Structures are given as structure tokens and as C-alpha cells.
Amino acid sequence: MQNSQLTNTKSLGLLDATTVVAGSMIGSGIFIVTAPMARDIGSAAWIMVLWFLTGLITVFAALSYGELAGMMPNAGGQYVYLQRAYGKTVSFMYGWTVFSVIQTGVIAAVAVAFSKYAAVFFPALNKSAFNLFNFFNVTYAQLLSISSLVLLTFLNAGGVKNGKYIQLVFTFAKLIALFALIFIGLWVGLKSDVITQNFSNAWTAKKTIIDSAGNIKTIQLSGFALMGALGATIINSLFSSDAWNNVTFIASEIREPKKNIPRSLFLGTLIVTIIYLLANLAYFALIPLKGSTEAKDAFSQGIMFMSNDRVGAGAAEMIFGSIGSIMMAGLILVSTFGCNNGLILAGSRLFHTMAKDGLFFKKAQKINKFDVPGYALWIQCIWASLLCLSGKYSDLLVYSTFAALLFYILTIFGIFILRKKEPNTERPYKAWGYPIVPALYILITLAICIDLLVYDTKNAGIGLLIVLLGLPIYFLINKNQIKENE
């Protein structure tokens, strides 16, 4: 029998919630994005500053979110917080953006990364499977991406415990492997002088541009040009650190949510921040920052010109030899599979909550016999699968990260609004460092968004347009609710 209410069964504890936070954050980004960051600013010191700043603002956001999570321990998380602070129009615009690009776009990209690294073991995956509508080729890799989404959706549709166990196993597996890579990498790398070379003249920043003919041009960065480059390239580390808020979507299934959600947010983001900083330090201890585009081995290519930007694979190759790239491909398969499990588990709960408000497909509000929103899971799967076929997932990541930052700003500003609107509401946890820490997060993130609009106008503008498209869509589907909300 199906209904529209999640049961009161609390299947997830603090450890489970923390693995959702950490597991959803760690996908493929940490193994790749340091390469484009190196080309954008050409400075090991500035790259470390950006990863530190990313970690700092992520932890600041988590510390602030805890107050909202404690106040509203309901399924839907950020969607519910925005609705309480601003009303249904803003919360719908958020939900629309999550469905169109933020959640499903990231799910698609992570699935594509999964199949990309599976091709290391099975090269035939890169071949064309068939031609779709005589319009574009569908590869076996794309079919594997979709198959992984279908499998994870099927497993999660069988009950929250399935998703819980998958998340625990895969998150711990990749954490152990990452710590091993970091420890061995630093132990091996610090015996060489690579890190000394990378950090000599470390504050000298240069942007490296490779044209279509393979010619390399460098541009010295200073002043506003440096600030602009830093603001534009931090989108890479921010994407790698995103999805930490997914645990709030499944609040109704967490034991003692008023305590465990704030704790899991802090613990998960702190653990991942430390891992990311150490991982980058290991990269700089093992591989020169600069190298050659024509080189064949990881050391000679350098971080900047690493083949397919696979910095993590290059680091493993420096430690273990040629077998290292195979080992890293296996680690990334584990990492991406576990990451998508957390994203799929959490996202469906948000769409379920939207459907109950009459703002999403009606069937998405139904709960299946395993007490999970089955229809919401499959609707999410279908759209993410289409994005896998679209070939636009890399663009979607840029749009979605910018859009996500806008809603993080609004959500944390909502703490100030609700303190004024609802001063007597119970707050089991109050934002640490209020009002300074939430205000710092808002100011820093707003500065990054403005920088992106100035220096990456096209991609940031498309992200903003996707958000704003939610407004006319809301007016079209829910005119009556808007009148009630005014």
C-alpha cells in the first residue's frame, strides 16, 4: 500500500549521517580539479590557499546550517528552510534548480566519471553502441553510466537500509584508500625536493593558455587580474566540496535529528576538508607543478599538463609505478559509486517534499512498500540518465555550482530572518559564532559569485538564468498558492 507520508522509522544514526555528508562530497573532483586550477593560476601556494578557503567556508556553512536543521528536522532540508524564511516562491525556485541541474546534473557527471574510469579496465566502453535518432552516438560508457544510476536507484527503492549499508561500505573504503594515498604519498614525496621546487616563488601567479594548435602562452597575474583568476578557479574546489547539505534532505529518517544533523554536518565537512588539503599537499610533494604537454609519464607532464587532468592517477603512478594508475582508477570507481549513492538517496526526499506541497509531479509524493519515495527516486533517475546522454554534464557542473552558491547565501541569510521572525522558536543548536561566522560566509561567497559574474559571465549567467526560469514556471503551475503567500 502506498501513501504520501514517510514513516517515523529512524534508521540512520550519527555515523550514518556523517557518511552521507562525507560520502556525498567525495566523488571524482579531488582527483582531477587541481590540474585546471594549476593552469588558471600556476601557483602551488595560491592553490593551497583556495583549498583552505573552500574548506573554511564549507565548514562555516555547515556550522550555520546546524541551527536550521535543528529547528526543522524534516525531510526536504534546504527546501524547507527557504520556504520558512522566504515563502514558497523562493523554495520552489530552489527545488526547480536542484531538479534541473544541481542534484541531477551532479549525479549525471559523477556517473560519467564512473564509466570514464571503468574504461581503464574495459577500453571497449569508449566505442559507439548505437546511433540515437541519427542525431548523436551513444557509447557503451554512457550506457554504463545510466546502468549505474538504475542499479543504485533500484537498491535505494528497496529501503533506506540498502542505501545506508552501501554508503557505509563505500565511504569507509574510499576514506581508507585516500588516507593511504596521502600517507604513502607524503612519506615518498617528502624524501625528494619536488615540494621545495613547487613552493619556491610560490606566490608568483601565471595563467597558462593552450590554443588549438597546442601552443602555450602564459599571462602574469597580479592585482585585480589575480583576484579575478582566483575567484573564477575556486569554482573547481567548491564543486569538489559540494553536496555536504544532502544529509538535511533525509532528516526525517535520522535518529535524534536535532542533535545528529548539526554534528554530522560539522564532522563530515571537517573530515573532507582535512583530506582535501592533505591530498593536495601529497600531489605537490610527488609531482612538479609545471611540465610538458608532450611528455608521456606523470612526473614529466607535471600537474598542469597531466593527461586528462588525472592528478590523482599521476600521484599513484609516482608511488606504485605503472600499476598505480590502475589502482587509482579502482579507487575512483569506488568513490564515484558511493558518492552517487548518497546523492540519489538524499535528492529523492527533496522531490517527495515538493510533491506534497503540490510543486512537483504528483506521484513523487507516494511512499512505496519499503517506506521510501519510490516514484521520486525513479523520476530523478530518468532525468539524470537523460543528462548522461546529453553530453552537457561538464557545463551543467559550472552552472549548478554557481546556482548552488546563490541558494547557500539565501539559506544562511535566512538564519538572520528567522531569528527576527521567530525569536521564540526552539533552537536545539544555535549557529556557532553567530552573527560573525554566518555573515563571513555570506560575504565571502557573495564576493565569489560577483567575481564569477564578472570573469566567467557566460557560465555564471547561464546558472543565474536557470534559477530565474523557476519564477515563471512557478507562476504557471501554482497561481493560487502565490496569492495565498502574498
Three-state SS for 210?
A: strand
Cα–Cα distance, 385 to 260 (Å, whole number): 33
Cα–Cα distance, 397 to 393 (Å, whole number): 6
DSSP bridge pairs for 51 = none
Q: What is the pLDDT of residue 1?
A: 43
Nearest Cα to Cα of residue 228 among 435, 476, 12, 455:
455
The residue type of 214 is G
In a domain, 402, yes or no: yes
DSSP bridge pairs for 219 = 207
Cα–Cα distance, 322 to 313 (Å, whole number): 10
Cα–Cα distance, 172 to 182 (Å, whole number): 15
In a domain, 47, yes or no: yes
- The reported pTM is 0.85
DSSP bridge pairs for 130 = 138
In a domain, 8, yes or no: no
CATH at 115: 1.20.1740.10
Helix (H) or strand (E) holding 221: strand 216-221
Q: Which CA distances in Å does 393 have to 112, 223, 334, 380? A: 8, 33, 20, 15
- φ/ψ bin of 139: left (φ > 0), alpha (ψ from -120 to 50), beta (otherwise): beta
In a domain, 342, yes or no: yes
In a domain, 72, yes or no: yes
Q: Which grid cell sits at 127?
A: 566505442
Q: Which CA distances in Å does 230 have to 150, 225, 279, 459? A: 38, 9, 20, 16
Q: What are phi and psi of 129, to 5 degrees?
A: -90, -45
CB count, 10 Å around CB of 199? 15
Total of domains in the chain: 1
In a domain, 186, yes or no: yes
Specify the residue for cell string 567548491. 238
In a domain, 220, yes or no: yes
Range of the domain at 321: 14-485
In a domain, 464, yes or no: yes
| Low-confidence residues in the chain, pLDDT < 70 | 1-10, 75, 132-135, 212-213, 391-397, 478-486
Q: Running DSSP on this structure, what letter comes out for residue 249?
A: G
